[in-house]
Structure 1
Amino acid sequence: LSSGGWLTACQDDVVKLQVHMTRGEEYAEAEQLKEAIIEFKNALQLDPNHSPAHYQLAHAYLRSQQAREGYWELRETVRLDPTNHEAKLEFAQLAIIAGEKEEALVKSTEVVEAQPDNFRAYLMQGQALASLDRPDEALQVYRKAVEVAPDEVTALTALSVVEAHSGNLEATEALHIRINELDPGYKSFSFHGRWLLSRGPEFADQAETAFKAALETATEGDRDLAYGQLASFYVRTDRFDQAVAVLEEGVEAEEEILSLIYLLARLQRGAGNKEQADKLIESTTLAKPDDPNVHLVLAAYRARNGDFEGGLAAAEMAIELDADLVDAKLEKAEILMELGHRNEREGALDESREIVDQVLAAGKNRPRALVVDAKLKMTTGNVPGAVASLRSALDVRPDWAQALHILGVALAAQRDFIGARAELVRALELDAGLLQAKKTMAQVHAKLGEWDYVVKRGRQYLRERPNDELTRLLVAQGLVRLGTYPAALETLEALPVESRSGKIHYAIGKILQNRGKLDAARIALLAAHQEMPSNADILLELLRMDVREGRFDETKVRVAEALEAFPEDARLRQIEGVVALREHRPDDAEAAFKKAVELDPSDVTGYQRLARFLLQAGRLDETARTYEQALEVRPEDPQLHHFLGVLYELAGDQERAIDRYEEAIRFGPEMGEAKNNLAYIYADSGTKLDRALDLAQDAKSLLPDSASVSDTLGWVLYRRGLVGTAITYLKEAEAATDPRDASLGVVRHHLAQAYEANGERENAVATLDRSLAALEEHMEAAGEDPGSQPEWAVEARAMRKRLGTAGG
């Protein structure tokens, strides 16, 4: 090909590329996203490194709910064009969702460094730091955002949330005042009112003033929300009549009144005025039988009160009256989803999915459609897809409290409890009356071990839902974890005796048992057993008490009666195995444990009991196979991965042990023991020492009092050449290890090596002597053959011989 021909071909490719880009942009603007994706891909066929094509393709994918593909294209965009700072911020946002939080911090920091006056870059950097549970650093970054953009309401609002969460009330109040000065409208006054309300009842008057200001300044699209907000405030402060009056005022004053009628009916029904509420909704429907919006309100009302078939009929009537009413279609989709979830209508989930896909394809009312899409995905187990849909909805409506709550639930389902906490905090900042969010928040705090907050949020929820048994139990658990047993008991006993379920009696029995009130504990546990005669946990607790008190025959009778009534109950078969072991009948115990697994292959506890039995019998291969079976049932259970790691490590199969420990950590970041064991394997083999140090430090923060963890951290530091610091931790490990523990000799051997590397020969010799003495004492006590020495002891004796005497 001549140079002229080559030049012409290149020019042709440039022209073709531009044609594909132009078409793609036109298709994207017209919401024809499939066609847009094809055009941008065609452009990349001509030039795979064309950054704008990757960027446009990323947006098309994201708008098509293809989050993974969009994320990949954004990654390519920022790789090819490091100056595209907008793309870096978009990538950082998705990186947090994808769990690549460090990468999000790196990219947002790059933008901060390149554009030090870009407040959005600081906000993204702060979000990344918060996701990494680095709240103090996040707070400083949010403050920097406001410093560079002191009049930017978005930055001020974000900082006010973080300051409030940090307990800086004066700073928060000053920020709220500034926000109201800059943007004196419905959103800012509502935000201020919700924050005041969250501070406690003593700020109720100020909150009322703020909510009234929100109503006064609300524009047409927000007026129904403003009325509803003020009414909700009155309900929360026990002023039902004023709440009704506000809503009735809105119905009289406004043109768009359907949502207010709906709220008024909900209010009446919540107060027990069911007939009045139903009459209000039905009369509105009769007055305007040809108004599709009226039927839409009726559909929502019926569905909310459990009449899903009636709600479905009303939604279909609304669609019949107006085939283009998207809200009615989405209401129908939500009702179908509920019916499908309850298995009350065959094919309902498929019908719901078809409706949502059609609405999304049409590009109408995308935020609500995306939220319904997210709920559907969660129903079918596609939690990552649900998270992506919710993020897209919140991009359009960032202050949607209910969507933030659902996002918090989805993140918790992914075990991203820190991320879930952040979204739930935001939801409650926006709507302090969001009861379910408070309940979810208490559950998330429990997962994070934040028991003070469990109690606080749980009590807030119980004030309005005192009969919620699960939350009451969770609050009691939090109080127990905080060591306040009397308060835990008081929380449970606040329920009248006749209203207590078996679970409440059981929890009371456990607390009384812990406090040494055994007679009262037995009474509570027997009351729990009477309510739940086949409950395995209660039977096991009574079994333990009976063994201590010489009443084992009573347990045998209870278990036999339960098995006679429920012979196919897997948990009861497990207890049958425990009883058999107690009576020294190993064959019967094994048969019972295997029967339990056969009856319920999805119950991991059955596998664990069988595995422990096999382990005690010295049948390691069978033990490992049993845990592998359990993993098939629950592949994301970190404990199972950890147990298998321990077994493989004991068997000398380091490679498989490493795989299991890594999985345990992936699914359970709080697994300190797995981190410790993996760090030790890496240090012992001299590989991945940076990774080993990170793991050992994490383990130390999770298990600060563990002698084994101190030894591992010291050993890793020694292997990395940081012998001075290593000695500190190894000395700590030696002091904390029980003299009867077989590992004491190994710890001292590690310490001796560190002393030698630090030039402390005398200390090394003395520590080796203690190490070998500990080994001999242990072997003598265990009756082991002194001629059989572990590998480390052979190394220790050789080292001792090489070093000679302490004075030599």
Structure 2
Amino acid sequence: NGNKYFARGKYREASIMYRSALKKDRRYGEAYYRLGLAEIRLNRFGEAAHALRRAVELLPSNLDAKVRLGELYVMFLTTAQNTKARQEIASELERLIPGIFKLAPGSFDGWRLQGLLAWKLGDREKARVHFEEAQRVQPWDPNVVYSLFQVLEQLNRQEEAEKLAWELISRRKEFGPIYEALYNMHLRRRQIDQAEAVCQARVKNNPKSRAAYFALATHYHTFGPKERSNEVLRQYISLESDQAKARLEAVDYCLQVHDYDNALALLREGLAGLQGNARLTYERRVAGILLDRGNTKEAASYIDGLLRQYPNDPELLSYRSGVHLAEGGRQVGEWVRRLERAARAAPDNPVVRFALGRLYLVSGQEQRASAEFKKAMSLGPNYAAPRVAMAQIHLNNKDNAAALLAASEAVRISPLDRSARWLYAYALQGSGRLQEAHGELKVAADQAPSDPDGWIRLGRFEIQIGDLTSAERSFRACLENSGSAQCTSGLAEVLAMRGQANRSIELLQSEIRKAPQDPELRYALAETLRKSGQHARAMALYQELLNAQPNSARIHVRLGVTYEATGDRGRALSCYRKALELEPDNAEALATAAANLTASGKLSEAIPLYKRLVQIQPENPVFLNNLAYLITESGGDLEQALTYAQRANRLMPSQPDFLDTLGFIYLKKNLPGAALGVYRELVGLHSKHPNYPLFRYRHALAAFQVGQFDLAKREAEAALALNPSSHEAKQLQELLAQIDRKLRQ
């Protein structure tokens, strides 16, 4: 029965039947195998892997079970969030592959999996060799050639890669990924004409392919002339038998590239002669586009006019709720109730579900928002917006694996949606896949070269990974393509970081002469002066900026930081307090004020600021740790402090300062055994830390409290030999005296 359901595509029912069979016989290998296949179709990959592992154990001669399990391991390698998990998965795959070759010597799948394993582990040369073996056994498998192409490019063997790609195209004209990979390789090498030729070949080889036409339209939209992009879209519409459907597809494409004017033009062309539901479909799309383009007044007027004709239309109500949010409305209770009614009236409308999820999110109901976004994803398999929203939620919650999955789906559906691609890049970054993240950010920057946002994100990422040469290149490209002051600021920052402060200052002064009233350039110059130690000049410039923008919390904070650098904590604190008057929840102002008060010994005043920071950013481990330490140091609630410290350590394990806070709390709570374990780790792993003498002192104290007096004496004497502060030296001498008394007893 399970197989019958599977054959009809009813995988959920098939899974239930296979599980029923396994309840009767836990060693029924074929049922595990079939269950694994069903779970793969249901995208429940963890359960699929469990079932296939059992199938491999019980059916050692089942080659397909081994291959399918190996493919899952490759997928898990891609999404693993830490080195240990990757190593464990790689070991499982390394144990599995020999069994494939044993059953099928010279197996195509064996070589393919070995190539994927080597590639995921960073050994590109070995991956190349394995993929070429797979190509020899089963020539021109498109997925293997596609992987081999990427490896060759990464090995800087671009000519071989290009030749390989064109050969595959001649054999498999319909295989879209190879066109995209070849196109992107040319873009990375700034070979715009060759990239255009790839798109033209794709259209010629696939005259019925929507993806081919849209790829060519994208090229012209990005690199010009834009009129050619519109021509390609209209050519696609004219060739389709269902032109109304093709027009809506072209509209969707225009929205992906944020070409709202052309999207509206296409819709208005199509509205002529339409009546009834067909006309309403187009009217809804116009309403959504007016909202997306940010003209909320026009959108509100247009949607309100339609609602007078269709007062209960769920989709129009959804768009109207979006106008409310775009206008800054945060009192969403009435709109939540209206959209809940709309969702009951149209339970299978993904647009309504997404709009309701947005309202829940704004009202602080993240779980309910997530549930609605997931419903929208299920109802709209080609609807990118809820996937983008879920990717953002997962990133906020530090769930990089889930963010990666949601963002990758959004990019697949809407490859020109840069917000989706940015989220995908940040999920890759959070998963430690920096090279891939860098590549995605480069693609996003190239998609809209005149928009500074893409270049700035790319440059910022390159600064984070320490690639200042590439960051300088990105900010220069940003400046050349957009002329934005933000690009100049970024370039100046990079020059200063590369030890070229004078060049940075000269650049900013030159740009200020061209645009003397630009506040961003003047702010960037003040920041550069501050960072280069020219505090007096920086303070004068910040003050000029404040004269023009007295309500800028950001500038008050920066002026305070500059005073702090000169040792004037009093004036610095006044600046921070002024910033907090203007923006009570400004995280930077709260953090700088709290640090200032802590350094001045005013712990009771610092603690409320850190508590507010933890409310605003509950997943920030630094704020959690600092709050825990101050509560403990000031004699506060140790249970509360322990909760904060444990959260900080879960978010950032093995961070020495966070471990020290945890150990300090254990000592204060009279839990020396727990403290001893913490300080044993700190002393063993962090000998270069500036607080190392303190770690050894507290290690000695914990050892003393559990009665390990010899260990306590060794640690106290070692700490004294490390030139601790005078206060710590006094504490150590007192502790040694106590230890000696215990040893004499």
**When the two structures are superposed, what TM-score results if normalisation uses the length of structure 1?**
0.62
How much has 1:460 moved relative to structure 2?
0.5
What's the C-alpha RMSD, in Å, of the aligned pairs?
5.8
Deviations 1:743-790 (A, max 9, x none): 37538959999xx99xxx9xx799568516516x435xx3x5976546
* Residue 39 of structure 1: aligned partner: none
Cα gap change, 1:744 to 1:515, in 2 (>3 Å) = same
Is residue 618 of structure 1 aligned with residue 564 of structure 2?
no
**Alignment map for 1:721-740 (pairs within 5 Å):** 730=684, 733-734=686-687, 736=688
Deviations 1:212-239 (A, max 9, x none): 99x89xxxxxxxxx75323212224549
User: Counterpart amino acid of 2:211?
Assistant: Q
Is residue 303 of structure 1 aligned with residue 249 of structure 2?
no
Structure 1 counterpart of 2:243, from 257, 274, 293: 257
* Residue 231 of structure 1: aligned partner: 213
Deviations 1:33-74 (A, max 9, x none): xxxxxxxxxxxxxxxxxxxxxx99xx9xxxxxxxxxxxxxxx
Deviations 1:507-559 (A, max 9, x none): 222211122222211124445795226986753442343xx35xx44334323
* Residue 270 of structure 2: aligned partner: 284
Deviations 1:390-445 (A, max 9, x none): 33444456565555444323322333223212332344355544443222223334
* Residue 599 of structure 1: aligned partner: 582
Structure 2 counterpart of 1:746, from 697, 705, 711: 697
* Residue 8 of structure 2: aligned partner: none
Contact in 2 for aligned 1:408/1:423 (Cα 8 Å): yes
* Residue 397 of structure 2: aligned partner: 414
Cα gap change, 1:575 to 1:309, in 2 (>3 Å) = closer
**Alignment map for 1:25-174 (pairs within 5 Å):** 109=50, 113=54, 130=79, 133=82, 134-135=85-86
Contact in 2 for aligned 1:593/1:606 (Cα 8 Å): yes
* Residue 153 of structure 2: aligned partner: none
Contact in 1 for aligned 2:32/2:54 (Cα 8 Å): no
Cα gap change, 1:345 to 1:299, in 2 (>3 Å) = farther
Contact in 2 for aligned 1:442/1:457 (Cα 8 Å): yes
**Alignment map for 1:537-686 (pairs within 5 Å):** 539-545=526-532, 548-549=533-534, 552-578=535-561, 587-651=570-634, 654-665=638-649, 668-669=651-652, 672-673=655-656, 676-677=659-660, 680=663
Inter-partner Cα distance in structure 1 for 2:422 and 2:115: 20
Cα gap change, 1:769 to 1:511, in 2 (>3 Å) = same
How much has 1:447 moved relative to structure 2?
4.8
Deviations 1:278-334 (A, max 9, x none): 655334322x2424323422442463253666667777888888999xxxx454244
Contact in 2 for aligned 1:302/1:310 (Cα 8 Å): no
Contact in 2 for aligned 1:412/1:420 (Cα 8 Å): yes
User: Counterpart amino acid of 2:289?
Assistant: R
How much has 1:601 moved relative to structure 2?
0.8
Deviations 1:321-349 (A, max 9, x none): 8999xxxx454244213311221889888
Cα gap change, 1:413 to 1:631, in 2 (>3 Å) = closer
* Residue 699 of structure 1: aligned partner: none
How much has 1:250 moved relative to structure 2?
5.6
User: Counterpart amino acid of 2:325?
Assistant: H
Inter-partner Cα distance in structure 2 for 1:281 and 1:574: 49
Inter-partner Cα distance in structure 2 for 1:624 and 1:403: 39
Contact in 2 for aligned 1:745/1:774 (Cα 8 Å): no
Contact in 2 for aligned 1:330/1:355 (Cα 8 Å): yes
How much has 1:489 moved relative to structure 2?
1.1
Deviations 1:233-267 (A, max 9, x none): 22245498997677556645655322322344677
Cα gap change, 1:712 to 1:452, in 2 (>3 Å) = farther
Give me the identity figure in percent.
13
Inter-partner Cα distance in structure 1 for 2:217 and 2:633: 61
Inter-partner Cα distance in structure 2 for 1:431 and 1:439: 12
Contact in 2 for aligned 1:648/1:657 (Cα 8 Å): yes
Inter-partner Cα distance in structure 1 for 2:373 and 2:557: 42
Inter-partner Cα distance in structure 1 for 2:660 and 2:728: 28
Cα gap change, 1:586 to 1:483, in 2 (>3 Å) = closer
Inter-partner Cα distance in structure 1 for 2:323 and 2:568: 49
Structure 1 counterpart of 2:681, from 694, 713, 731: 713
Deviations 1:151-177 (A, max 9, x none): xxxx9xxx9999897786877998995
Report the secondary structure of 2:643's partner residue: helix
**Alignment map for 1:370-449 (pairs within 5 Å):** 370-395=353-378, 403-429=386-412, 432-447=415-430
Contact in 1 for aligned 2:694/2:724 (Cα 8 Å): no
How much has 1:493 moved relative to structure 2?
1.3
Contact in 1 for aligned 2:387/2:410 (Cα 8 Å): yes
Cα gap change, 1:372 to 1:688, in 2 (>3 Å) = farther
Structure 1 counterpart of 2:492, from 495, 505, 509: 509
Report the secondary structure of 1:742's partner residue: helix
* Residue 478 of structure 1: aligned partner: 461
User: Counterpart amino acid of 1:455?
Assistant: H
Inter-partner Cα distance in structure 1 for 2:653 and 2:695: 26
Contact in 2 for aligned 1:502/1:532 (Cα 8 Å): no
Inter-partner Cα distance in structure 2 for 1:110 and 1:272: 45
Inter-partner Cα distance in structure 2 for 1:454 and 1:333: 38
Report the secondary structure of 1:614's partner residue: helix
Larger Rg: 1
User: Counterpart amino acid of 2:285?
Assistant: A
* Residue 52 of structure 1: aligned partner: none
Contact in 1 for aligned 2:340/2:356 (Cα 8 Å): yes
Inter-partner Cα distance in structure 2 for 1:621 and 1:681: 19
Report the secondary structure of 1:574's partner residue: helix
**Alignment map for 1:155-194 (pairs within 5 Å):** 193-194=176-177
Cα gap change, 1:342 to 1:398, in 2 (>3 Å) = closer
Is residue 293 of structure 1 aligned with residue 278 of structure 2?
yes
Cα gap change, 1:281 to 1:797, in 2 (>3 Å) = same
* Residue 724 of structure 2: aligned partner: 778
How much has 1:451 moved relative to structure 2?
3.9
How much has 1:109 moved relative to structure 2?
4.1
Inter-partner Cα distance in structure 2 for 1:595 and 1:345: 27
Deviations 1:128-183 (A, max 9, x none): 88465534655788998999xx9xxxx9xxx9999897786877998995999xxx
Contact in 2 for aligned 1:454/1:475 (Cα 8 Å): no
Inter-partner Cα distance in structure 2 for 1:407 and 1:165: 26
Contact in 2 for aligned 1:340/1:347 (Cα 8 Å): no
Contact in 2 for aligned 1:525/1:538 (Cα 8 Å): yes
Inter-partner Cα distance in structure 1 for 2:115 and 2:728: 66
**When the two structures are superposed, what TM-score results if normalisation uses the length of structure 2?**
0.66
Cα gap change, 1:246 to 1:485, in 2 (>3 Å) = closer
* Residue 157 of structure 2: aligned partner: none
Q: Tell me, which stretches of 5 or more residues in structure 2 are unaligned?
A: 1-11, 17-25, 145-171, 187-194
